[in-house]
């Protein structure tokens, strides 16, 4: 789906929850989705790609298909999906395709992280469908925070709060650095 279709889907979950079984039967999914709607919309209003990121994206003149696997309940996605959209939205050569992790064709099965279906996951393909770069499920510094806290035996609620604070303090800097590096490798 397009980013606008994803926003409509996301909003429909909040306004018509009973029509979305995963959310109407799982209070945690619905509560996370409500939080994530606010988080994502804050980034859509406030996030501005860096000058270096803009130059990098503006230099893309060959057609690319960017597939972003996500779900509205995902806390990491609330930050990254909005930022990636803001980064690519003005480049006519980049086709951003949002795919849901838990809906067919289950593309996530081909892009597991340590055997798990962690999201968001970004796959950058050229115009003939070859994968050129893969990113996700979160910036490396955030992933390290997650792994360290998990190894220390912290509970998931504490880990989630720490990661949310990390995203708010980082303001999209790390994801941009990582995408610039990935694109430099892809274009070399």
Q: What total number of domains does the chain contain?
A: 1
Boundaries of domain holding 66: 3-187
Which residues fall within 8 angstroms of residue 42, CB to CB, at 6 or more apart? none
Residue 1 pLDDT greater than 70, yes or no: yes
User: pLDDT tens digits, residue range 11-63?
Assistant: 999 999 999 999 999 999 999 999 999 999 999 999 999 999 999 999 999 99
What confidence score (pLDDT) does residue 85 get? 98
Query: pLDDT grade, residue 188 (50/70/90)?
Result: low
User: pLDDT tens digits, residue range 61-95?
Assistant: 999 999 999 999 999 999 999 999 999 999 999 99
**Mean pLDDT for the chain?**
95
Tell the burial category of 119 from Cβ atoms under 10 Å away from its Cβ (0-12, 13-18, 19+): buried
What confidence score (pLDDT) does residue 95 get? 96
State how beta strands 64-70 and 131-135 pair.
unpaired
CATH code of the domain containing 156: 3.40.30.10
């Amino acid at each position: 789906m397009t980013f606008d279709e994803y926003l409509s889907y996301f909003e429909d979950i909040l306004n018509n929850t009973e029509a979305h079984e995963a959310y109407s039967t799982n209070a945690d999914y619905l509560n996370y989705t409500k939080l994530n709607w606010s988080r994502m919309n804050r980034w859509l209003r406030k996030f501005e790609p860096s000058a270096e990121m803009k130059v990098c994206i503006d230099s893309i003149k060959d057609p690319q298909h960017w597939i972003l696997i996500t779900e509205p309940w995902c806390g990491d996605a609330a930050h990254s999906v909005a930022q990636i959209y803001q980064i690519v939205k003005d480049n006519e050569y980049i086709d951003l395709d949002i795919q849901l992790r838990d809906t067919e064709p289950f593309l996530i099965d081909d892009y597991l992280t340590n055997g798990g279906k962690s999201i968001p996951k970004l796959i950058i393909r050229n115009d003939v469908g070859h994968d050129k770069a893969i990113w996700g499920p979160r910036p490396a510094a955030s992933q390290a925070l997650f792994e360290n806290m998990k190894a220390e035996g912290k509970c998931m609620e504490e880990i989630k709060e720490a990661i949310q604070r990390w995203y708010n303090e980082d303001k999209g800097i790390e994801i941009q650095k990582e995408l610039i590096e990935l694109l430099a490798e892809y274009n070399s």
